Amino acid sequence: MTAVEIVEKSVQDVRLLRGNRVKSMNTKAEQVGGNSAADIAKLVVAAIVLAAGVFAYYWYNDWATWQRILVLLGGFIAAGAIGFFTRTGHALRDFLLESNFELRKVVWPTRQETIQTTAVIFVVVVVLSLILGLIDLTLKWTVLDHLLKAGR
């Protein structure tokens, strides 16, 4: 293939992707579109339940603290449960599952590597602080003690 053919093929691929409304180059096919009317209604109900839980927490000041916290947590849990059954809730669940999968692939540093890196950062911060302090003292000595007094 020539360079012109490669560029033309790339342009065709981009046009194809735009035509199919693909959001990203993920291995999974992603559906593009908003929430349905039922999903929007569920999200509104979830927001109302959440607001009711927060409102009840502040409104019932005479209740015991544990009761008020229980009402607040109940509002959060109920709102989350309602929101879970929407398209957005399923997308959030999928995102969290994929994030957890990706976290398992991370190679975490050993304790020794962490301690050594922290020590290096600490030394660099101290050295740079000393350098900046010396620059500040030099400028103070030059400007305040010599240049300003020389004009008198």
H-only helix segments in the chain: 3-20, 37-59, 65-84, 87-104, 111-140, 148-150
- At 22 the pLDDT is 46
Mean pLDDT of 10-38: 62
pLDDT tens profile 47-95: 999 999 999 999 999 999 999 999 999 999 999 999 999 998 999 999 9
Looking at residue 105, the DSSP 8-state letter turns out to be T
C-alpha angle 76-79-83 in degrees, rounded to nearest 5: 135
- At 122 the pLDDT is 98
5, pLDDT greater than 90:
no
Tell me the C-alpha to C-alpha distance, in Å, between residue 21 and each of 13, 26, 33.
Answer: 12, 13, 10
Does residue 83 contact residue 42 with C-beta atoms inside 8 Å? yes
- At 32 the pLDDT is 57
Q: Is the dihedral of CA 123, 129, 135, 137 positive or negative?
A: negative
Dist CA 96 CA 89 (whole Å)? 11
Looking at residue 86, the DSSP 8-state letter turns out to be S
Overall pTM > 0.75: no
pLDDT tens profile 94-150: 999 999 999 999 998 999 999 999 999 999 999 999 999 999 999 998 888 877 777
pLDDT tens profile 26-52: 555 555 567 788 889 999 999 999 999
Residue 75: Cβ within 10 Å count: 21
